Structure 1
Amino acid sequence: MIVAFGTYDTGRHPRVGVLVDGLRAHGYTVTELDRPLGLSTAERVRMLRQPWRLPALLVRLLRCWALLVGDVARHRRRHGAPGAVLVGYLGHFDVVLARLLFPRTPVVLDHLVFAGDTASDRGARGLRVRLLRGLDRLATACADVVLLDTDEHAALLADVAPARARRGVVVPVGAPRAWLDAAAPPRGHDGPLRVVFYGLFTPLQGTDVLAGALADALPRAASHAGRPIEVTMIGAGQDLPSARARLADVPGVTWHGWVDPAALPALVAAHDVCLGIFSATPKGLRVVPNKVFQGLAAGCVVVTSDTAPQRRLLGSHVELVPPADPRALADRLLALADDAALAAARERAAAGRDLVRPDVVVTPLVDALRTRRVTP
């Protein structure tokens, strides 16, 4: 038996659900001991960057931990010790508690986000970044296996915590089953090209690049006799005001705040094209975002930046454009408004859907567990 443990929230961060579903598909019994903290990634990072917010985080965290301690005690009485403990995404603090509660059990930490790296990407500098890198070192020291999503993040682990580099296992993000189930047959060619972007409006996303591309592509599409382009923009974040200002006078753009996670797969699947990330920031060059996997799973053509990890994992199935290049992105969207180009891109995308399934992406974790004699 494996215990999935922590304060994660699969509604906000579906990665943990992908791992759990994948392990179950390989025959493991997985029990979830989860008390969601109720904070988004942006809220957690903001608290870490603004020390005066930490007492509120600590109070909420201790309340969740008290419940988890009781959950673990009851679980141990009924089932004994688990074969392994999986600490969910954003578990920098939770893994410390897991190590204390399960001192002789293999602990797996899903470390997709390095606290220091994320804070630096969002503008933090100096002592705060150094302290957060210390938190990354503490978290990885408490784990026997550290899950990363790309080879680039595995190299970052070796840089931040050299002594823990051998604990790293690369497991791509993948997509929940709900996204695979949401895929619909391709729409006909008689309407506009429907494009969707969703996520945090942060430097990692490259939403300034995206806004520039849309401000170029949509008027050009409208001025020709071919297919127009309509874009749905979903989410919030620090770069949202500038993106909205750039696109204020551009027709064909619809804006939404956060969409309920249960409704998001079907909403995305109703579009032809799902947009990924487009920045050239250091972090933007190291990640493959959720939306790339989810867009493929939902049956969309995915357009994203041509970076080493994205090209390596899914390059033959997604449409790649140079990072931080609004003109190239605009030209690619205009090209996809052609029926033949869109049909060919759909074929490439469909051939990659199996690669994002939970049972496929979790295979390296299964191998790591078996080397530690943790079997179904």
Structure 2
Amino acid sequence: MIVAFGTYDSARHPRVGVLVAGLRAHGYTVRELDRPLGLTTAQRVRMLRQPWRLPGLLVRLLRCWALLVGDVVAHRRRHGRPDAVLVGYLGHFDVVLARLLFPRTPVLLDHLVFAGDTATDRGARGARVTLLRGLDRLATTCADVVLLDTPEHLAMLRELVPSRASRGLVVPVGAPQGWFDAAPAGTPATAENDGRPLRVVFFGLFTPLQGTDVLADALASALPRAAEDATHGGRPLEVTLVGSGQDLAAARDRLHDTPGITWRDWVEPADLPALVAAHDVCLGIFSATPKGLRVVPNKVFQGLAAGRVVVTSDTGPQRRLLGDHLELVPPADPAALADRLLSLRDPAVLAAARERAATGRDLVRSAAVVDPLVRLLDARGVRP
């Protein structure tokens, strides 16, 4: 039996839900001891970057931890000691508690985000970054196994905590079942241009990692060109942009009066799969920042699961894992992105892209992405 433990929120951060579902699909019994902290990633990072907010975080955390201690005591009475403990995503603090509560049980930390790296990507410098890197060291030192999503992040672990390098394991992010369920049952006809707009969606935080400045420049070029082309019988282009973040204002300014854009500040997580599935193309990330070159974002997995064509940056991790199923453009190249979006208005080009995307869907299912973790557990004698 495996215990999934922490203050994670699988509705907001689906990664831990994918891991739990994947382990269950392989026959493991997984019991969740979870008391969600109720903070988004952005709020957590903001608190860590602004020390005066830390007392609020501490109060929330201690309340959740008190409940978790009670949950662990009750669980031990009913089920005994687990074979392993999986600490959910954003578990930098939770893994410390897990280590204390389960001193003789293997603890697996899903370290999808390095706190110091994320803060640096969002503009933090100096002592705050040093503090957050110390937090990363503490968290990874408390774990027996550190789960990471790309080999590039595994290399970061080697640099940060050399003693934990051999304990790192790459497990891709994957997509929850809800995204597969949202995919349309059939593929729309694409043999000819029926005048229906090519519908494109971007969702996420407007941060440097996402490359929303690149996206804004690309759309500022592509949308007017598509609108002009539509007056001569070409296919229109419509774009939905969902989210908020530090670069949102700049993106709005750049795209002021650009035709064909719908802005949405927020979509409930439960409603997001259906929204994406109602479009033709899902956009990934486009930056050339150090962090942008190391990740495969959630939306790439989710877009494929929803049966959509996914356009994203041509980086090592994305090309290596899913390159045959994605529409890749050079990082930080708005002209290339604009041209790719315009080319997908061609029914034959779109049909070929759809077929490539469809053949990659099974690779992002929960049962597939946890294969490395299942092999590791089996080698440690933790079996269903």
For Structure 1 versus Structure 2, the TM-score category normalised by the shorter chain is: over 0.9
1:286 is aligned to 294
Identify the match of residue 195 of structure 1 among 200, 224, 249: 200
Give the Å deviation of 1:186.
Answer: 2.6
Structure 2 residue matching 1:263: 3-state secondary structure: helix
Q: Distance in 2 between matches of 1:35 and 1:129?
A: 28
Partner of 1:40: 40
d(CA) in 2 for partners of 1:161, 1:372: 22
- Sequence identity (%): 80
Q: 342-351 vs 362-371, which deviates more?
A: 362-371
1:150 corresponding residue in structure 2: 150
Q: Which residue of 1 aligns with 2:24?
A: 24
2:315 pairs with one of 292, 295, 307: 307
The equivalent residue for 2:214 is: 209
Structure 2 distance, partners of 1:186, 1:320, is 22
Structure 1 residue 8 displacement after superposition: 0.2
CA distance in 1, matches of 2:198, 2:188: 10
Offset, 1:222: 1.2
1:360 alignment partner in structure 2: 368
CA RMSD in angstroms comes to: 0.6
| Residues 1:375 and 2:375 are matched in the alignment | no
2:227 counterpart residue number? 222
> Please, which runs of 5 or more residues in structure 2 have no aligned partner?
none
SS across alignment from 1:231: strand
* Deviation at residue 188 of structure 1 after TM alignment: 4.0
5+ unaligned residues in a row in structure 1: which ranges? none
**Cα distance in 1 for residues equivalent to 2:255 and 2:243:** 15
Question: 1:276 corresponds to which letter in structure 2?
Answer: G
Select 1:246's aligned residue among 229, 251, 254.
254
Secondary structure, counterpart of 2:3 in structure 1: strand
> SS at the partner of 1:108?
strand
Residues in 2 aligned to 1:258 and 1:5: alpha-carbon distance in whole angstroms: 28
Secondary structure of 2:270 counterpart: coil
Shift of 1:187: 3.0
Are 2:345 and 1:337 equivalent residues in the alignment? yes
Match of 1:30, as an amino acid?
Answer: V
Describe the SS at the equivalent of 1:147.
strand
Match of 2:88 in 1: 88
Alignment partner of 1:21: what SS?
helix
Q: Does residue 237 of structure 1 match 2:238?
A: no
CA offsets 1:153-176 (integer angstroms, 9 cap, x no match)? 000000111110111000000000
Match of 1:213, as an amino acid? A
Instruction: Classify 1:85/1:297 alpha carbon distance in 2 versus 1 (closer, same or farther; 3 Å).
Output: same
Matched, 1:75 2:75: yes
Dislocated runs of 4+, deviation >4 Å:
none
Offset, 1:200: 0.4
Distance 2:333 2:318 in 1: 16
Q: Which amino acid aligns with 1:193?
A: L
* Partner-residue secondary structure (3-state), 2:95: helix
Q: In the alignment, is the contact (CA less than 8 A) between 2:216 and 2:255 conserved in 1?
A: yes
Quick check: 2:227–2:259 contact (8 Å CA) kept in 1? no
Q: Following the alignment from structure 1 to structure 2, what is the Cα–Cα distance between the partners of residues 17 and 174?
A: 10
The one of 269, 272, 276 aligned to 2:277: 269
Task: State the match for 2:187 in structure 1.
Answer: 186
> What is the TM-score normalised by the length of structure 2?
0.97
| Structure 1 Cα separation of the partners of residues 373 and 130 of structure 2 | 30
For 2:285, the aligned partner's letter is: I
